[in-house]
């Protein structure tokens, strides 16, 4: 089971690079959807069967793999934007930064004083690498939808780290994390709608032209 979990975490980190290197919104959304499904499977692999586990796993897969990507696809269609044309940092440079951040995540994770049962696992480096990837997407992309994708990836990094603590986390805390994610996406959807309506664009750099 642990080897399968590690394989899923490797897939999650590879998806990070797909998002960093892709200018097409559709590809990024599908990549994040696949990442959400992979993360949704992890709790079922790590813990014994229970109805609470089935609910959390099913909720994760439906929310991260279906509902949120569907909302983002609808936003892309309404905004009539297919690509991130002019990011703040180019795609090659972003990929290189992503590779550096991923390497640093492994170095940093190796120095952390982890419990013996957590040492040698990919959860901590994958969590840190995914967090940094989400932050990188958030800060290097101009389009609001791309920044929502960055927010999703960043939240996925937090979720991976939280999996190490699931035995101590009650159901309501886990459900609260998922609810916070959905609320954040709906808020970002409202922001995207207002930006698109006021500027006929979802380029967040144009917000600097706002005046009282």
- Residue 96: the pLDDT is 94
Q: What does each C-alpha distance from 212 to 58, 61, 204, 208, 209 come to in angstroms?
A: 46, 43, 17, 12, 10
Q: Which residues contact 15 (CB under 8 A, 6 or more apart)?
A: 31, 32, 34, 35, 38
Count Cβ neighbours within 10 Å for each residue of 24-49 and write b for 16 or more, e otherwise: ebeebbbbbbbbbbbbbbbbbebbee
Residue 129 has what pLDDT? Answer: 94
Query: What pLDDT was estimated at residue 99?
Result: 94
Name the DSSP letter for residue 97.
H
The pLDDT tens digits of the residues spanning 149-187 come to 888 888 888 888 777 765 555 454 455 556 556 656 665
User: Where do we find the tokens 């309404």?
Assistant: 78
Going through the chain in order, the beta strands assigned E by DSSP cover none
Going from N- to C-terminal start, the domains of the chain cover 2-205
CA distance 194 to 188: 10
Output the tens digit of pLDDT for each of the chain's 212 residues.
567 788 899 999 999 999 998 888 889 899 999 998 998 888 777 666 667 667 777 877 888 888 888 888 887 777 677 776 678 888 889 999 999 999 999 998 888 776 666 566 788 899 999 999 999 998 888 777 788 888 888 888 888 877 776 555 545 445 555 655 665 666 566 566 655 555 555 455 554 554 44
The reported pLDDT for the residue numbered 207 is: 47
Q: In this predicted structure, what is the pLDDT of residue 172?
A: 46
What gap in Å lies between CA 77 and CA 44, rounded to an integer? Answer: 34
Rounded to whole angstroms, the Cα distance separating 193 from 170 reads 35
């Amino acid at each position: 089971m642990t080897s399968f979990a590690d394989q899923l975490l490797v897939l999650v980190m590879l998806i990070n690079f797909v998002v960093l290197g892709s200018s097409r919104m559709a590809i990024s959304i599908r990549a994040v959807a696949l990442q959400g499904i992979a993360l949704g499977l992890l709790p079922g692999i790590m813990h014994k069967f229970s109805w609470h586990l089935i609910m959390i796993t099913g909720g994760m897969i439906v929310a991260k793999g279906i509902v949120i990507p569907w909302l983002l696809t609808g936003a892309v269609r309404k905004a009539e934007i297919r690509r991130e044309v002019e990011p703040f940092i180019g795609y090659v440079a972003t990929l290189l930064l992503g590779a550096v951040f991923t390497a640093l995540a492994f170095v940093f994770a190796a120095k952390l004083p982890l419990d013996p049962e957590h040492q040698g696992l990919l959860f901590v480096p994958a969590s840190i690498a995914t967090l940094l990837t989400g932050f990188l997407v958030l800060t290097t992309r101009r389009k609001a939808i791309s920044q929502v994708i960055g927010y999703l990836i960043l939240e996925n990094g937090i979720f991976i780290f939280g999996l190490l603590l699931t035995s101590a986390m009650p159901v309501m805390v886990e459900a609260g994390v998922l609810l916070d994610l959905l609320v954040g996406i709906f808020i970002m959807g409202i922001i995207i709608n207002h930006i698109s309506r006021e500027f006929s664009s979802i380029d967040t750099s144009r917000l600097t032209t706002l005046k009282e």
